[in-house]
Structure 1
Amino acid sequence: MTAAVLPRPELPTPVPSSPAPPAPGGAATAYQRVLHRAVHRELRLLAELASWATTDDAGRTTELTEHADLVARVLLAHHAVERERLWPALLRSLPAAEVDGARRHLLAWTDRTAPLDSRLRDLSTATRQWAVAGTGPARDAFVRACGLVADAVAEPTAADEADLLPLLAAHLPAGEWAAAIRASGSTLSGREQMLVLGLVLEDASAIDRARVLAALPPAVRTAWRAVGRRNHRAAVVRLRGAPPAL
């Protein structure tokens, strides 16, 4: 059975002014926000959908476990790119007066991210066990693992958005972000990259969606329009039993 997803006085006329140029890290902060929200949403949905799955439906088990594996890999890879590329690039770009404060935020980021990565690896283990065993207890362990990781994602990402995203928005050069995006997609197949792009765009505001798409290479934007959007919609319908909002 396919589970449905639960659900006066007049003021002076202002003088027109030239629009402010976009912040250098606007695309970076937009992507960070939408990725965090997509991961949290997908883990919550996986826990719910898996709780409805029967133990004799191997096809459904495969759909859910493959999607969980993708979500876990995406967030682990995202953290690796942040640690190895994004934060060093940010530190290089900061004014000297802001470096010490940023280093303190990055130490706190490390302390938050290490236990989250451990939970993501636990989820990967539960995913493999359910895929192989196909039993009720293995499914229930998978449901619990999805819920635990979803809970673990919420607080650290809120802290990242409060402490680190303003620094990215103000100081990260666009070229550094483009390099980070290329690195983050290097472990995914083309089809997986299109699916992840669709997932992160689903709940994005119009501004964040435009920023994320504008920062992509032209070939990726073309692939998204030509086949990615359609494939993402089909994958979401199979998984959730309902089309995406996008």
Structure 2
Amino acid sequence: MSIDTQDMEVVHRGLRREARLLIELVAAVAPGDTRRAAIIADHFRLYRLGLHNHHEGEDELLWPPLLARVDLGADIVLRMESQHTRVAATLTRLDTEVSAWEATAGADERDALVASLTDHRAVLLEHLDDEEATLLPLAADHLTEAEWASQGEHLVTHTPKLTLLMLFGVVLEDANPSERARLLAGLPAPVRGIWHIFGSPRYARHTRRVRAA
């Protein structure tokens, strides 16, 4: 019996959106507006942590069991590993360029950062598209429910709680009603309550601040 990997596509939807928005948000910052640059830089770091922990969970918890079971699909798993390395390299470059731009909000630094964010998005989209088309069907057939769920447990363990609420908002934002209901149902009841009372309003305030014209 195959496991359901649809939630991964919902996560990817949020990553695609944020990678696009970061390009647009940085490009719109006026030279010298360090206050606005700091807001966008902080949002980049939220996105970066979420993406890093998401990929780290796959590296540590999904690829090893898959490689042990899928002789004919090993090339797919190895390709995912290689793509993760390429995505990580773009993030390392962005760390430096975000800090340089944040310090002065200079036009040259901004334009260099936009170019690097564009490169990052291209590498990321190539990976996400490939993963959905080739890796998720493989995972559905060869992983157990517990192995699949371990990714979420890894994210919870390695992410500060307030940041976790923000990342959950990133994922839920473009989820359709049935996806949203399923994701919320997967949370323990107390956590679900915290999301509704505290997390959802906090995420709404965060997005208004980040996306302000």
Q: Which residue of 2 aligns with 1:178?
A: 149
Query: Against the structure 1 CA distance between its residues 58 and 187, is the aligned structure 2 distance closer, same or farther, given a 3 Å change threshold?
Result: farther
Structure 2: 5+ residue stretches without partners: none
**Structure 1, residues 17-74: CA drift from partner, whole Å, max 9, x if none?**
xxxxxx7632xx2332122221221121111121111233222111101111221222
Q: Which residue of 2 aligns with 1:82?
A: 58
1:61 maps to a residue whose letter is: A
Q: Which residue of 1 aligns with 2:8?
A: 32
Distance 1:164 1:219 in 2: 33
Maintained 8 Å contact 1:69/1:127: no
Distance 1:218 1:124 in 2: 37
Task: Note if 1:44 corresponds to 2:32.
Answer: no
Task: Note if 1:112 corresponds to 2:83.
Answer: yes
1:139 to 84, 107, 110: 110
Distance 1:112 1:132 in 2: 31
SS in 2 for 1:195: helix
Measured after TM superposition, the shift of residue 90 of structure 1 is 4.3
Between the two proteins, the alignment pairs up a number of residues equal to 213
Maintained 8 Å contact 1:30/1:211: no
Q: Which residue of 2 aligns with 1:205?
A: 176
Sequence identity (%): 32
SS in 2 for 1:185: helix
Distance 1:148 1:55 in 2: 22
Distance 2:2 2:195 in 1: 24
1:25 maps to a residue whose letter is: I
Q: Which residue of 2 aligns with 1:57?
A: 33
Q: Which residue of 2 aligns with 1:17?
A: none
1:179 maps to a residue whose letter is: S
Query: Against the structure 1 CA distance between its residues 24 and 184, is the aligned structure 2 distance closer, same or farther, given a 3 Å change threshold?
Result: farther
**TM-score, length of structure 1 as denominator length:** 0.78
Distance 2:159 2:141 in 1: 29
Q: Which residue of 2 aligns with 1:11?
A: none
Maintained 8 Å contact 1:39/1:75: yes
Distance 1:55 1:186 in 2: 39
Maintained 8 Å contact 2:67/2:77: no
Maintained 8 Å contact 1:185/1:193: yes
Q: Which residue of 2 aligns with 1:190?
A: 161
Distance 1:63 1:210 in 2: 31
Maintained 8 Å contact 1:72/1:124: no
Structure 1: 5+ residue stretches without partners: 1-22
* CA RMSD across the alignment: 2.1
Measured after TM superposition, the shift of residue 207 of structure 1 is 3.3
